[in-house]
Amino acid sequence: MSDIRIGQGYDVHKLAEGEALILCGIKIDYHKGTIAHSDGDVAIHALCDAILGALALGDIGQHFPDTSDKFKNIDSTILLTEVMKMINTHGYILGNADITLALEEPKMRPYIMAMRARLAPLLGTDISRISIKATTTEHLGFTGRGEGIAAYASVLLLERL
């Protein structure tokens, strides 16, 4: 049996008027966006944390600290590309990825396929191995009040044979 690794990630960013909202590398048409050191893509940040967790390599802040000017306003797809190099270096491939976005607005359904298509080549896999879902929090908590957005990600890594 080959080595199997499972990782889970979570990220949150505050929302503000006039900021850009980027999720899974796709710019979302909305009047609010994330406040962040990077581009604030919570989905990719959670995905990076899930991968790093599966590899037992810490978290995204350890590898790409928000105290570094090198990562100021960086496109999070660049961070994901660097994390994917770590998968390869450690002898694994991505089995699948599952992402859940938690926010009240905007509706994500029109963007889901574009998000999956954007992530597939970055993850070196087929779109059928990437799941992206969105849910509201029924107006409860910071996401329910529209103050922020959260993302959860899980990944399965398989030993490259």
DSSP 49-104: HHHHHHTT---HHHHS-TT-GGGTT--HHHHHHHHHHHHHHTTEEEEEEEEEEE-S
Output the CA angle 42-31-14, nearest 5 degrees: 35
Q: Which residue has the tokens 């969105």?
A: 134
Give the pLDDT of residue 69. Answer: 83
Give the pLDDT of residue 1. Answer: 61
CATH of the domain at 57: 3.30.1330.50
On whether the CB atoms of residues 63 and 57 are closer than 8 A, the answer is yes
On whether the CB atoms of residues 96 and 131 are closer than 8 A, the answer is yes
Give the pLDDT of residue 65. Answer: 80
pLDDT in tens, 31-60: 999 998 888 999 999 999 999 999 999 999
On whether the CB atoms of residues 152 and 103 are closer than 8 A, the answer is no
Which pair of structure tokens corresponds to residue 36? 């962040």
The boundaries of the domain holding residue 26 are 4-159
Q: Which residue has the tokens 């929302």?
A: 15
Structurally, the chain folds into a number of domains equal to 1
Which pair of structure tokens corresponds to residue 110? 């029109």
Work out whether strand 32-35 and strand 4-17 pair parallel, antiparallel, or are unpaired: antiparallel
Which pair of structure tokens corresponds to residue 153? 């990600």
DSSP 122-161: HHTS-GGGEEEEEE--TT-HHHHTTSEEEEEEEEEEEE--
Give the pLDDT of residue 71. Answer: 80
Give the pLDDT of residue 119. Answer: 98
Give the pLDDT of residue 85. Answer: 97
Low-confidence ranges of the chain (pLDDT < 70): 1
